[in-house]
Structure 1
Amino acid sequence: MDEGIGAAAPFAHVPPSIHAVQLRDLWLRLGREVILRGVTLDVPTGEGVTLLGENGAGKTTLLRLLSSGLRPTRGEGRVMGFDLRDGRAVRDHVHLMPVDGGLYPDLTGAENLEFALKMHGQRGDVVRALRRVGLERAATRRVRFLSAGMRKRLALARAHLLARPLTLVDEPFANLDDAGRALTLDLLEDLTAGGVTLVIAAHEPHLARRVASRALRLAGGQVKEA
């Protein structure tokens, strides 16, 4: 047994239909390092959560776990009612916007959005989405030639187009000027108005909490109300 990691706790008493995220005594170990230690957490559907923590606390790792990019070592977790270990079902209901945008550098801005829609079996107005984030002129430019701020805007356009029930956003305000941050807030507010559950990891809590008012702090591998 992994050091310090206990057995899974029962889960059945929590109604899955009213929660976007449910974690019960969840542990995550990567190599020799234990990242999460017995995390128990409920996030109701439609709620916005700001995830706080120092660099290296494990915020990005927790987002990756919630998107089924990582599997828990011990404990149980559900996302939109689906077991975290059921990667396909979870991915159908979650969109993760990583800090680097997760874009394809050799595709143009428009091609990135078109590809994302195709991969998720959805339809959407790519031209309108690019216009919404002020990237009309960047539609035919390869992403590798866009600035960090423009890539961030493009990633936000993609998240807005896909509009998954649970959207996880890692550092949405990084590399943006004041206008870009205002636009980001508008786009995230649009998502919450549509019933999307947001979990935002950000170093600008005063901005994030405008759209995700509940604050959680990750420290020492544990998540607590901030």
Structure 2
Amino acid sequence: MSLSTSLTPSTSDTPHATSPHALQLRDLWLRLGREVILRGVTLDVPAGEGITLLGENGAGKTTLLRVLASGLRPTRGEGRVLGYDLRDNRAVRDHVHLMPVDAGLYPDLTGTENLDFALRMHGQHADVAGALRRVGLERAAGRRARFLSAGMRKRLALARAWLLARPVTLVDEPFANLDEGGRALVLELLGELRERGVTLVVAAHEPGLARQVAPRAVRLAAGRVEEERGA
């Protein structure tokens, strides 16, 4: 892992293509209340790379993904996403998509409406019906998300991530609540994102699966990130 003492200054109007790194973190700390969740995280992720984030329950994997998506503000330290400062919420959110473990859908919108809304938020147009067919949800297109099973919601969230194809895509436990066919679909669609140059960070308890699309593994333990031995 390439480490340096500081990050190159960047402004929110700097084109993200000028940065060779998708993610750069330097001595990043996060305290929530009295609890310290992240302790001096330092990490470089080149653009287009796939990272599997390992760690026990409670290690801070989900929290780190939320920080990278600008959903949580670091207590101290530096962080950049495609050259943009993590504290520049708008710029970061324009380039990052987080697929949370609970799918993060709008429960009162249908499958079609969830995908349409996500695309409109990013000024994109795409074949929503085709995406639903791709994940096996064409018959559930008109059902509200709250009435879908956990596995179906996961498939819908996967279709959204695949359609949006943000330059940095963060995925939290993508294999949870899925059968063998669903897991194969996750690998297929995330693999296609990698082929399109998307940087993937996948937090998973199934490293053998995750590393098929995100070969480099790092482990989060006690709030710190280390390269996985043997990776």
The 2-side partners of 1:34 and 1:27 are apart by: 8
Partner of 2:73: 71
Partner of 2:35: 33
The 2-side partners of 1:167 and 1:219 are apart by: 22
Partner of 2:216: 214
SS at match of 2:212: coil
Partner of 1:124: 126
The 2-side partners of 1:51 and 1:24 are apart by: 17
Please list the CA deviations of residues 146-185 of structure 1 after superposition, one character each: whole Å capped at 9, or x if unmatched.
1110000000000001000000000000000000000110
The 1-side partners of 2:90 and 2:155 are apart by: 27
RMSD across aligned C-alpha pairs, in angstroms?
Answer: 1.4
The 2-side partners of 1:11 and 1:101 are apart by: 33
Amino acid at match of 2:171: V
SS at match of 1:72: coil
Partner of 1:148: 150
Partner of 2:14: none
Partner of 1:87: 89
SS at match of 1:151: helix
Does residue 201 of structure 1 match 2:197? no
Partner of 1:5: none
Instruction: Pick from 1, 6, 15 the counterpart of residue 10 of structure 1.
Output: 6
| Structure 2 gap ranges (5+) | 11-16
The 1-side partners of 2:148 and 2:36 are apart by: 37
Partner of 1:3: none
Amino acid at match of 1:178: E
Amino acid at match of 2:8: A
The 1-side partners of 2:198 and 2:104 are apart by: 20
The 2-side partners of 1:138 and 1:178 are apart by: 20
Q: Output the TM-score relative to the length of structure 1.
A: 0.94
The 2-side partners of 1:105 and 1:180 are apart by: 21
Amino acid at match of 2:133: R
- Distance 1:13-1:82 versus aligned 2 partners, 3 A rule: closer
Partner of 1:139: 141
Please list the CA deviations of residues 67-103 of structure 1 after superposition, one character each: whole Å capped at 9, or x if unmatched.
0001111110000110000000000000000000000
Amino acid at match of 1:164: R
Amino acid at match of 2:159: A
| Structure 1 gap ranges (5+) | 1-8
Please list the CA deviations of residues 82-125 of structure 1 after superposition, one character each: whole Å capped at 9, or x if unmatched.
00000000000000000000001111000000010111111111
Partner of 1:169: 171
Query: How far has the Cα of 1:47 moved from its partner?
Result: 0.3
The 2-side partners of 1:60 and 1:44 are apart by: 21
Please list the CA deviations of residues 11-44 of structure 1 after superposition, one character each: whole Å capped at 9, or x if unmatched.
2399971100000111111101111111111000
SS at match of 1:95: strand
Query: How far has the Cα of 1:53 moved from its partner?
Result: 0.3
The 2-side partners of 1:175 and 1:13 are apart by: 42
Query: How far has the Cα of 1:210 moved from its partner?
Result: 0.3
Amino acid at match of 1:213: P
The 2-side partners of 1:56 and 1:24 are apart by: 22
Amino acid at match of 1:201: A
Partner of 2:24: 22
Does residue 54 of structure 1 match 2:56? yes
